[in-house]
């Protein structure tokens, strides 16, 4: 039934006859409700007003009840939680303590909270040092800021590149070139900052196609993006070649190290063959690196870095005509959570080089085991040659989204990808104790789909399958927007 729902929703005419629109809206709603998987009932129970009498300390009990309703995420989610163990022990407990010690602080008030201002500078410097700032070839001027996450770091790098290129080359109709595998945050940045995106299909190895990029360069090109690695398949784009191209055409090159920034430097030290990816590569002008992923810091922490201050200056907006006074803040937010800065600083300082080497060696080993295990499951293939800790896989034999539905019924939360239809697992410390269970469940799921082809009742396979194939991307976009619009 679901597939017919989706088909009917996706095949709806874009220009509507009066009277038909109500029917179509109802069909779309059915699909959106399905995507929210029972969200409507929980929404109906939502509190819509303040309690008349405050709950006081009792509120903690309510929080515990709410928390207990979350799914069992320990060891079961792709990416999502990168720190080992549960949130009330070990490293988690430490960073939570650091957060709570500084949760009242705000680096906007640098004069009051010198502590967090210093910690931010140190997190930035320590991250930069991992990404080539100490190399002579970096130019010795790497600078940056902390942001709320990978997306904000990317938004800032794109806005900064746009304004830098406008001042340097007078580009007023900016364009950026990205691979099909580059994160959706670049589309967001393009929409926010009025930039045309040229998305180039990946090459046979699923990497950014340098020749394809070159063909897209014109007088309006402000920047290109390389990922190390990209989110979907965990593969490192040819950063050196992209750097050469960027230098030749004097345009910016952003390297997306949101996933790789706190893995690749350590993996290389551990002897894994890691191609060049950082500021030691000529032509790289900015980098994003997420502390809240493999940096094992609290959620809401990332670092954006620039080759030099001349570029970074274009990140800032200085306000001089406001009756509120002279104003400047470094990133998109005004007030910022000093507690998160302290949490990130505590994570990095408490782990140190040896801590990150240890965690990297554990997740790299498990990733290789998972990769080999998947390769051994008849009917599955691994996409590309995973460089790090993301393993993507597809199938020519079974519907991989049906496999995902069975995996979901066993409690796993994997990422569904398109072009080609596939799944990935982003391996974290959470998986180091359960990878055997993962492989066994995956093998069983493939066997189940082989034995019972066809959509799983209540599953998402038809939605993913159909949405990926539908030529009418406008309706797919509308469904996504409706899904989001009805969520909160």
Ligand X SMILES: Cc1ncc(COP(=O)(O)O)c(C=O)c1O
Q: Would you say 154 or 449 has its CB closer to ligand X?
A: 154
Only one residue has tokens 């391996």, namely: 427
CA distance 130 to 263: 10
C-beta of 300: minimal distance to ligand X in Å? 9
CA distance 262 to 293: 8
Contact region with ligand X (CB under 6 A), list: 51-59, 149-157, 322-330, 343-351 = 149-157
Backbone φ and ψ of 479, nearest 5°: -65, -40
Question: In a 3-state reduction of DSSP, which class is residue 279?
Answer: coil
C-beta of 304: minimal distance to ligand X in Å? 11
Element (H, E) at 189: helix 185-193
CB 165 within 8 A of CB 130: no
* Of positions 209, 256, 278, 387, contacts ligand X by CB under 6 A: 256
What DSSP line would sit under 449-482, residue for residue? HHHS-SPPTT-SHHHHHHHHH-S-HHHHHHHHHH
Closest CA to 173 of 189, 162, 185: 162
429 binds ligand X (CB under 6 A): no
Contact region with ligand X (CB under 6 A), list: 145-153, 363-371, 449-457, 461-469 = 145-153
231 binds ligand X (CB under 6 A): yes
258 binds ligand X (CB under 6 A): yes
CB 363 within 8 A of CB 429: yes
How far is it between the farthest Cα atoms of the chain? 71
C-beta of 83: minimal distance to ligand X in Å? 15
227 binds ligand X (CB under 6 A): yes
185 binds ligand X (CB under 6 A): yes
Instruction: Give the length of the chain.
Output: 488
Q: Would you say 175 or 256 has its CB closer to ligand X?
A: 256
Strands (E), 233-300: 252-257, 286-289
150 binds ligand X (CB under 6 A): yes
234 binds ligand X (CB under 6 A): no
C-beta of 248: minimal distance to ligand X in Å? 25
300 binds ligand X (CB under 6 A): no
C-beta of 182: minimal distance to ligand X in Å? 8
C-beta of 228: minimal distance to ligand X in Å? 8
C-beta of 255: minimal distance to ligand X in Å? 10
314 binds ligand X (CB under 6 A): no
Residues that bind ligand X (CB under 6 A): 149-151, 154, 183, 185, 227, 230-231, 256, 258-259, 290
């Amino acid at each position: 039934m679901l597939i017919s729902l989706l088909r009917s929703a996706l095949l709806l005419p874009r220009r509507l006859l009066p009277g038909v629109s109500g029917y179509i809206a109802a069909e779309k709603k059915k699909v959106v409700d399905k995507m929210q998987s029972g969200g409507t009932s929980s929404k109906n129970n939502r509190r819509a007003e303040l309690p008349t009498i405050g709950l006081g300390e009792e509120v903690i009990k309510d929080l515990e009840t709410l928390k207990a309703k979350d799914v069992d995420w320990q060891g079961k989610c792709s990416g999502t939680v990168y720190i080992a163990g549960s949130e009330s022990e070990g490293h988690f407990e430490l960073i939570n303590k650091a957060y709570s010690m500084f949760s009242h602080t705000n680096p906007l008030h640098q004069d009051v909270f010198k502590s967090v201002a210093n910690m931010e500078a140190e997190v930035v410097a320590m991250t930069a040092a991992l990404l080539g700032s100490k190399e002579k070839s970096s130019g010795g001027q790497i600078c940056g800021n902390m942001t709320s996450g990978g997306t904000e770091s990317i938004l800032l790098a794109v806005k900064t590149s746009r304004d830098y290129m406008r001042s340097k080359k007078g580009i007023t109709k900016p364009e950026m070139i990205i691979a099909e595998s580059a994160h959706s945050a670049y589309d967001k940045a393009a929409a926010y900052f009025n930039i045309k995106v040229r998305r180039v299909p990946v090459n046979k190895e699923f990497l950014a196609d340098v020749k394809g990029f070159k063909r897209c360069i014109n007088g309006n090109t402000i920047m290109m993006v390389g990922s190390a690695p990209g989110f979907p398949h965990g593969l490192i784009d040819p950063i050196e070649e992209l750097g050469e191209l960027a230098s030749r055409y004097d345009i910016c090159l952003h390297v997306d190290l949101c996933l790789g920034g706190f893995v690749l430097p350590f993996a290389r030290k551990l002897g894994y063959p890691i191609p060049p990816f950082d500021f030691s590569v000529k032509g790289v002008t900015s980098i994003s690196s997420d502390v809240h992923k493999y940096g094992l810091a609290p959620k809401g922490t990332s670092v954006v870095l620039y080759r030099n201050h001349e570029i970074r200056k274009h990140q800032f907006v200085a306000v001089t005509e406001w009756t509120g006074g002279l104003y400047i803040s470094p990133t998109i937010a005004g007030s910022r959570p000093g507690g998160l800065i302290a949490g990130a600083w505590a994570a990095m300082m408490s782990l140190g080089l040896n801590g990150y080497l240890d965690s990297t060696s554990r997740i790299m080993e498990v990733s290789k085991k998972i990769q080999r295990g998947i390769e051994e499951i008849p009917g599955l293939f691994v996409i590309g040659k995973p460089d790090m800790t993301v393993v993507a896989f597809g199938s020519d034999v079974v519907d991989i989204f049906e496999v995902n539905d069975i995996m979901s019924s066993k409690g796993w939360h994997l990422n569904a990808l398109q072009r080609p239809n596939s799944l990935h697992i982003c391996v974290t410390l959470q998986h180091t104790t359960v990878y055997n269970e993962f492989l066994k469940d995956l093998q069983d799921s493939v066997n189940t789909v082989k034995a019972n082809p066809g959509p799983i009742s209540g599953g998402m396979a038809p939605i993913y399958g159909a949405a990926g194939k539908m030529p009418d991307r406008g309706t797919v976009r509308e469904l996504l927007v409706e899904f989001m619009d009805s969520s909160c």
